[in-house]
Amino acid sequence: MKKFINKSLIIVSPFVAAIILLIFIDAYKVFRSYDNYYKDSFIELNREMVTTRTYIENRENEKFNSFILGSSRSQAFKCEEWTKYIDNNSKPFHFDAHGEGIYGIAKKIEYISSLGDSISNALIIVDRTILSVTNNRNEKHLSISPPELSGESKLEYYYIFLEAQINYKFLITFIDYSFFGKYKTYMEGFILDDKYPNKTNKVNCDIWLVNDDYIKNDSLGYYNRLNNLGVFYERPKANYQICEITKEEISYLKSIMSIFNSHKTNYKIIISPNYDQIPLEKEQIGMLIEIFGKNNVFNFSGKNKFTDSISNYYEDSHFRTSVANEILEIIY
């Protein structure tokens, strides 16, 4: 028996050591807390993990009471600009997630409320994709919701990040870049290749995208390059999937409204001006108006002054901060 145990330890030890090393390296910054999650980071992080951890670590000192929620498209809206339109005592926080769904937005609002924190103001940016996602996107490390929000297994959550780090292609590129700090073409998809770094607010989680610097320095070259790559396609986009209302979607929207009522929240629902110019279905708009009220729902989807020009976009997925600023002026 003793020999069996010793042999087992010999076999298992390298795997245990490898796991400990991966946790120590913490490439995706998920196993430890950080003062600034984006500092010296050259790989894409799970945005929802970053915003959730940052909120938890700063909520008591900052007393956040106003929230911008949505997908990465919501990053066009900035806390500082928003404060011009809401009360003077507001402390805004940008609580977004990449590829966000109504599931994630509802879970965040429920979590904030469960902590006893105030929700004085809310700005929710939605689109067809967001309204369609009604579950935890837990298949991949960049999209899984943290257990604080989902209530699901912590073990499964951390295992997904360990599995992502074990990927040998990722390990090779990560080690190469860590030692030499030079981007090489084979690193595409693993290492961020940016001449200018994104600018972030480590407290309220606002992000100023690197694209702004590229456009500022050479707007003509920037858009010509994207046009040559076929990024800006002909519109409206054809053969798209209908965004159907589901009972899960209705349930999450009603949960959000219930919490807003209990907090006496001043809220606005923005249907974002997506480049594809696909209008949100009338049934969806009608449901949003029914739940949140006509005066609180603002539809910028479809063909309009914001979606007509490519100069209002960083690429075919994200509209620019100048558009968001004008939208704030309109809705308030």
Q: Is residue 6 part of a domain?
A: no
pLDDT confidence of residue 187: 86
Q: Is residue 42 part of a domain?
A: no
| Residue in 38, 18, 46, 3 with CA at minimum distance from that of residue 206 | 38
Boundaries of domain holding 304: 47-134+200-331
Q: Is residue 94 part of a domain?
A: yes
Range picked from 23-32, 83-92, 294-303 for highest mean pLDDT: 294-303
Residue 153 buriedness (CB in 10 A; 0-12 / 13-18 / 19+)? exposed
Q: How confident is the model at residue 10 (pLDDT cuts 50, 70, 90)?
A: low
Give me the mean pLDDT over the 14-20 stretch.
60
Task: Please state, in angstroms and rounded to a whole number, the distance separating the CA atoms of residues 264 and 248.
Answer: 24
Q: Is residue 31 part of a domain?
A: no
Task: Please state, in angstroms and rounded to a whole number, the distance separating the CA atoms of residues 184 and 239.
Answer: 37
Q: Is residue 15 part of a domain?
A: no
| Residue in 55, 92, 100 with CA at minimum distance from that of residue 73 | 100
Q: Which amino acid is at 92?
A: P
Give me the mean pLDDT over the 302-317 stretch.
96
83 CB-near residues (< 8 Å, 6+ apart): 90, 92
pLDDT confidence of residue 154: 94
pLDDT confidence of residue 3: 53
Q: Is residue 239 part of a domain?
A: yes
Mean pLDDT over each residue of the chain, to the nearest integer: 91
Cβ–Cβ contacts within 10 Å for residue 6, how many? 10
Cβ–Cβ contacts within 10 Å for residue 215, how many? 17
The number of folded domains in the chain is 1
Range picked from 6-20, 108-122, 197-211 for highest mean pLDDT: 108-122
pLDDT confidence of residue 51: 98
Q: Is residue 146 part of a domain?
A: no
pLDDT confidence of residue 263: 98
- DSSP designation for 281: P
Chain-centre distance for alpha carbon 227: 26
Question: How far is CA 294 from each of CA 246, 267, 280, 299, rounded to the nearest angstrom?
Answer: 21, 12, 15, 11
pLDDT confidence of residue 17: 62
pLDDT confidence of residue 6: 47
Q: Is the pLDDT of residue 248 over 70?
A: yes
Q: How confident is the model at residue 16 (pLDDT cuts 50, 70, 90)?
A: low
Q: Residue 209 maps to which CATH number?
A: 3.40.50
Q: Is the pLDDT of residue 18 over 70?
A: no
- pLDDT, one tens digit per residue, over 161-214 is 999 988 888 888 988 888 888 888 888 888 887 666 778 999 999 999 888 888
Q: Is residue 20 part of a domain?
A: no
Give me the mean pLDDT over the 232-248 stretch.
90
pLDDT confidence of residue 137: 86
